[in-house]
Chains A and B, each alone.
Chain A
Amino acid sequence: MVTHKTTEQASLTDTEKPVLRAKRVDVYYGNNLAVREVSLDIFQHKVIAFIGPSGCGKSTILRCFNRMNDLVPSAKVKGEITFKGKDIYAPKVDPVELRSQIGMVFQKPNPFPKSIYENIAFGARINGYKGDMDQLIEESLKKAALWDEVKDKLKQSGLALSGGQQQRLCIARAIAVAPEVILMDEPCSALDPISTLKIEELIQELKLQYTIIIVTHNMQQASRVSDYTAFYNAEATDDGDKIGYLVEYDDTETIFQSPQQQATQEYVSGRFG
C-alpha cells in the first residue's frame, strides 16, 4: 500500500489528502538545531507511531503539530507544517484554536485536581460547547472505556483514580473537545502492563474517529497499535549536541519486517537504542 517515505515528494499511495503534513521541518532550541528536515504525511483515521532512541526529536516533532513548542520561549520551528492544507505556523493561525482541534495526551497522567465530571467539562466549556454537558461527559467516558468504572463517582476527584484510569480520563478529556487528531506522548510509559493493554485497545477503537500519533519507546507497542511507523535517530555534532532526524517512515509492517535503512533494521531488532 505504501512505498517509502523519507523524501519530500514521496507521496504515500493513499489517494486521500493527508490531515497533517510536515515539510522539511527544522526545530531549534535557541541557536541549537534539535531536529532537522523532517518531512512526513499523516493520513486520516490511522495510528502513526514515532519510535527512536532518546533525544532523537520524536516528542519535539509531536509537539510541533499542536504548537505546544510555542510555550518554550527559545523554541523555533522552520519549514512548513500543514493541517488540512493550511500552514499552522502562519501568523493568523491562533494556537489556542489549533489545540482544540489537535488534542494531546501526556506521558504522565495529569488530570486536574477536580472532579471527574469537571475534568471533562472544563475543555468543553472553554471551547463554548452548546450541547448537553451530562451527555457529552457520558459519551466521552464511554469512548475512553472508563464509563463503567466511574459512572457512580463522577463527583469524586480525578486524582483518586488509578494511574491507568487517570490516563483514560485524560483521553476522555481530550475527546470531549472533539479534536480531529490526538497526539500521545508516551501515554503508557508510567503505566503497568494491564493498564497499557487497555490503552492500546482503546487506541484501536479511537482510530475509527480520530487520527492518532503516538510516541513510544516500546517497539512491541508500536507494532501492535500503529498502521504507520516513523523511525527517528540522532546524530552527534562535533560539540556534543544531538540532532534528531527522520530515518524512515513507512507502514508498520515494512518498518518491522523489511526496513530499507540499516539503522532501522538494527533498532527494531533491538541491536541499539
Chain B
Amino acid sequence: MIEKTAQNSNHDRSNLYDTALKKRYGIDNIFAVATWSAISISVIVLAVLLIDVCIDGIPKLNWNFLTSFPSRNPEEAGLLSALVGTIWMMITVAAVSFPLGVGAGIYLEEFASDNWFNRLVEININNLAGVPSIIYGLLGLQVFVRLFEPMTGGRSILSGSLTIALLILPVIIVSTREALRSIPDSLRLAGYALGATKWQIIWEHIFPLAIPGILTGTILALSRGIGETAPLITIGALTFISFLPENLQSAFTVLPIQIFNWVSRPQPEFHDLAAAGIIVLMVVLMVMNAGAIILRNKFQKKF
C-alpha cells in the first residue's frame, strides 16, 4: 500500500517536472567552450605580438642601446633620453596625481553630502575617464604650455606630467572610491560609537584597509599614463633629444614618442630599434606593476 503511494507520487512528479539534465549539462559545456575560446583568443593575440616584437627587437637590445642618445645612424642610436624622460615623468605624474586623486576620492566617498553639486562633480569625473587623451593634450597645450609658461617652462617635463596626471586622475579617483566603498560600514559605526571623529576613523581604520585597492588602481592608471603618446605630441614634446633633462622645466621625450619616431622612419633598421624600444617600455611597465604588487602585499599583511 505504502509502496504503491510512493510509486504514485514518483509518477506524478515526472509528469509535472522535466529535469532535462542532459540538455542542461549540454548548455554548461557550450558556455565552458565559449569562455575558453574567449581567453585563448586574447592570449594568442598577445603571444603573437610579443613573439613578433621579441624576434625583431632582442638582437638590438644591448647596453649601448640603453646608454646612447638617438642618432641618424641606426647602428649608434639608443633611447637613453627617452628612458630617462619616461622615468622623470612617471615620478612627477605619481607625485601629482596620487595625492590629488586619493584626496578627491576620500572627499567624494566619505565627506561629500548628497546634493546636486556633488552629484554633478561625480558625473563629470566619471565622464572625464572616457574623454580621448588627445583632448587632454589640447588642454595641456593651452593651459600648461602657454598660460603657465613662466612656471612650467613651456614644452617641459612638468607640462607633460601635469597633462598626464590630469588624464589619469579620474581613474585614480574612481578606484579610490571603489576601495573605500568596499570597507564595511560596521567599522565606521564602531568608530563613531567610541567617540571618534570622521577623520580618526578614516585615517586609522578605513584608509589602511583601502590602501591595497587604492594602490592597484593607481598603478593601473600610471601604466596607462606611461604608454600615452598623443597628448605629449600635442603639447609638443620633442622627438629628437640628445641631452638628459636637468630639471622639471627641461624639454624631454619619452619612450612611446621615441618608438613612434623610429617606426615612422623609412629604414627597416629603425623598425627593429622600435621593437627593442617596445621591449624596454614593457620591462619598465612590469617593474612598476611588480612594485605595486609588493607594496600591496606589504600593506595587506597587517591583518
| CA distance in complex: A97, B194 (Å) | 9
Among listed B144-152, B195-203, B249-257, B287-295, interface-contacting one: B195-203
- Flag if B194 contacts A110 (CB, 8 Å): no
Contact with B along A150-193 (1 / 0, CB 8 A): 00000001010000000000100110010000000000000000
A101-B302 Cα distance, complex, nearest whole Å: 31
| Given A71-B189, A73-B113, A159-B303, A112 contacting B205 (CB threshold 8 A) | yes
Q: Given that A113-B209, A126-B200, A157-B303 are known contacts, is A106 also in contact with B190, CB under 8 Å in the complex?
A: yes
Residue interface bits B159-202, CB-to-A below 8 A is 1, else 0: 00000000000000000000000001011011111111100100
B114 at the interface (CB under 8 A from A): yes
Residue pair A100, B303 in contact (C-beta under 8 Å) = no
Supposing A73-B113, A73-B114, A159-B303 touch, asked if A110 and B195 sit within 8 A by C-beta, the answer is no
Chain B hits for A113, CB < 8 A: 187, 205, 209, 303
A99 contact from B192, B204, B209, Cβ within 8 A: B192
Q: Are A68 and B192 within 8 A (Cβ)?
A: yes
Q: Do A99 and B195 form a contact, CB below 8 Å, given A113-B303, A157-B303?
A: yes
CB neighbours of B204 from chain A (8 A): 122, 126
A191 nearest CB across to chain B (Å):
16
Residue from B114, B191, B195, B196 with most neighbouring chain A CB atoms (10 Å):
B195
Interface size class of A (residues with CB under 8 A): 20 to 34
Determine whether the beta carbon of B192 is less than 8 Å from that of A110: no
Q: Which residues in A have their C-beta under 8 angstroms from that of B205?
A: 112-114, 122
> What is the size category of the interface that chain B forms with chain A?
20 to 34
Chain A residue contacts of B193, Cβ below 8 A: 66, 68, 99, 103-104, 106, 174
The residue from A108, A114, A177 contacting B194, defined by CB atoms under 8 A apart:
A177
A170: chain B residues at CB < 8 Å are 190
- Contact check, B194 vs A103: say whether CB atoms are below 8 A apart: yes
Residue pair B194, A99 in contact (C-beta under 8 Å): yes
Give the secondary structure class of B's interface: helix
CB distance from B288 to the nearest CB of A (A): 28
With A112-B190, A112-B205 as given contacts, are A96 and B113 in contact (CB-CB < 8 Å)? no
Measured between beta carbons, the chain B residues less than 8 angstroms from A68 are: 189, 192-193
- A126 in contact with B186 (CB, 8 Å): no
B282 to chain A, nearest CB (A): 36
A209 in the interface, Cβ–Cβ < 8 Å? no
Give chain B residues whose Cβ lies under 8 Å from the Cβ of A111: 190
- Note all chain B residues with C-beta closer than 8 A to A173: 190, 194
Q: Which of B89-133 contact A (CB under 8 A)?
A: 113-114
- Does A53 sit within 8 A of B, measured CB to CB? no
Contact A110 B187 (CB under 8 A): yes
What separation, in Å, do the CA atoms of A94 and B67 have in the docked complex? 63
Residue of B nearest to A108 (CB): B186
The 3 closest A-B pairs by CB, nearest first: A100-B195, A123-B194, A104-B193
Q: Footprint of A on B, CB under 8 Å?
A: 113-114, 184, 186-187, 189-197, 200, 204-205, 209, 302-303
Residues of A within 8 A of B (CB): 66, 68, 71, 73, 96-101, 103-104, 106, 108, 110-115, 122-123, 126-127, 157, 159, 170, 173-174, 177
- A–B pairs, 25, beta carbons within 8 Å: A68-B192, A73-B113, A96-B195, A96-B197, A99-B192, A99-B193, A99-B194, A99-B195, A103-B193, A106-B189, A106-B193, A110-B190, A112-B205, A113-B205, A114-B205, A115-B303, A122-B191, A122-B196, A123-B195, A126-B197, A126-B204, A127-B194, A157-B303, A173-B190, A177-B194
